[in-house]
Amino acid sequence: MNDLAQHIQTISLADTHEHLYDESQYVNSGPDILQDLFDRLYITADLVVAGAAPAAVAALLDANNPDLEARWSGVAAAWEHCKYTGFGEAVRLTARRVYGMDDITVPGLYAAVERNALLRQPGERLRILRDEGRLDYVQIDSKTWSCLPDPAGSDFFLHDLSWYFLSNGEIDFDAMRQETRIEVTDLKSLRSAFEALFALYAPCAIAVKSQHAYRRTLLWSERSDADAARILQQMLRGETISDAERLCMGDWCLARGVELSIEHKLPFKLHTGYNARYGEMWIDRIRPGHLCALLQRYPQARFVLMHIGYPYADELIAIAKHYPGVFVDMCWAWSIDPHSSVDFLRRMLHTVPVNKLFVFGGDTWWPNAAVSFAQQARTWLTRALQAEVDAGLIGEGEGIRVATRLMSTNQAECFAIEDKRAAIRAYQPT
């Protein structure tokens, strides 16, 4: 291993996007051996695309059934077709690193059961991520507003304040009242409730996050208070609203979220590009280019655009080159399409200032999966930067300095990590 590869393998890596289940969920209903290999790694979608029956995939993940052979048999043929995808690579990395399996076999699965049980103990989740993954911290999106110091490791587990449903114009008035003690009756009280959410949770939040690209187009336009107020009254009366009205409400709420993120100095993360799962993706809705009006309206905001906008990587590079407030996060991208991610990183390096790119987030739920995605990212990042060195475009020492920047410095600057950790340590509940 040369110095560049050694450096990328060993330094601490910032993980800017996960959905990790919390400590109690991990300990009390953590992944059994087949779940540790296949659950929440997105490979289940590849299996169905390859031809596995959805029911067979559901059976594979059914930890209540101790018959591992029966669970495996329904997907074994499809697995042969999925081994080489980025998601399949992550499965194989977990099999090898955690369970010593070079390939998945029924005797191997039964032999791994004991090891799996040993890992599902209190504190193991943190140890796996921090010590085996060499992750500096993880940023977690649990699709909730609440962001308080995490008792499992307040310096390590950092949380996003979710703006997902609001950006789609979905407002849970009961939950809003419970969180903020504000009864929403009009636009003014809705604004007050939003401000109260930020007052409660922004101090410990690492960012604001929305993945509304799963539910609507990313295309945004400025909406008037008058239109939003009219639709809000319909919603409060329990009337169904049209798709166009929901978009209007979503645009209005998203804008207020961005304004509050500016006020509270939090980056705003947006899902762009590819949709997880299978069988439903509106390819035109997910283009990062749809965000231009929003980026132009709020030049003082820090937007983190995620997942290389796949497959609209070119559009995302152009946006990152053009808008000073935009940062680019390669989270999940290495496992969606590793070769495109290598290409993306190399093109970013020669197109966009090098302080704008974050290289990793696993985008997953269980710790071993996150560590395997981290291992995958380190390996493919090495290939990308080594290719730059081999082509004579950068020296090895430059490659090492670029790697450090992409793996940790840029994230530390954008998210003001040390200030945030200090704020979390100093946090006093009110």
Q: What values do phi and psi take at 140, rounded to 5? A: -115, 130
Q: Shortest gap between Cβ of 293 and Zn ion (angstroms)?
A: 24
Binding region for Zn ion (CB under 5 A) out of 84-92, 122-130, 313-321, 355-363: 355-363
- By beta-carbon proximity to Zn ion, the closer residue of 126 and 336 is 336
Binding region for Zn ion (CB under 5 A) out of 64-72, 185-193, 239-247, 358-366: 358-366
3-state secondary structure of 219: coil
Judged by CB under 5 A, the residue of 46, 337, 363, 388 near Zn ion is 363
Q: Shortest gap between Cβ of 340 and Zn ion (angstroms)?
A: 18
- By beta-carbon proximity to Zn ion, the closer residue of 195 and 363 is 363
Q: Shortest gap between Cβ of 194 and Zn ion (angstroms)?
A: 23
The residue number whose beta carbon is nearest to Zn ion equals: 363
Q: What angle do CA 33, 35, 38 make, to 5 degrees?
A: 110
- By beta-carbon proximity to Zn ion, the closer residue of 261 and 364 is 364
Can you read off the two tokens belonging to residue 81?
């077709």
How far apart are the C-alpha atoms of 24 and 157, rounded to whole Å? 14
Q: What values do phi and psi take at 330, rounded to 5? A: -80, 15
- In DSSP notation, 275-296 reads -SSSS---TTTT-GGGGHHHHH
How many residues bind to Zn ion according to rule CB under 5 A? 1
Q: Which residues pair with 269 in a beta bridge?
A: 209, 304
Residue 105: partners with Cβ closer than 8 Å, 6 or more residues away: none
Binding region for Zn ion (CB under 5 A) out of 152-160, 214-222, 334-342, 362-370: 362-370
Host H or E run for residue 135: strand 135-140
- By beta-carbon proximity to Zn ion, the closer residue of 269 and 420 is 269
- By beta-carbon proximity to Zn ion, the closer residue of 136 and 363 is 363
Q: Shortest gap between Cβ of 212 and Zn ion (angstroms)?
A: 12
Q: How far is CA 149 from the centre of its chain?
A: 19
- By beta-carbon proximity to Zn ion, the closer residue of 335 and 382 is 335
Under the binding rule (CB under 5 A), the answer on residue 329 touching Zn ion is: no
Binding region for Zn ion (CB under 5 A) out of 61-69, 127-135, 147-155, 357-365: 357-365
Can you read off the two tokens belonging to residue 377?
């990212």
Question: With left for phi above 0 and alpha for psi between -120 and 50, is residue 42 left, alpha or beta?
Answer: left
- Residues contributing to the site for Zn ion (CB under 5 A): 363
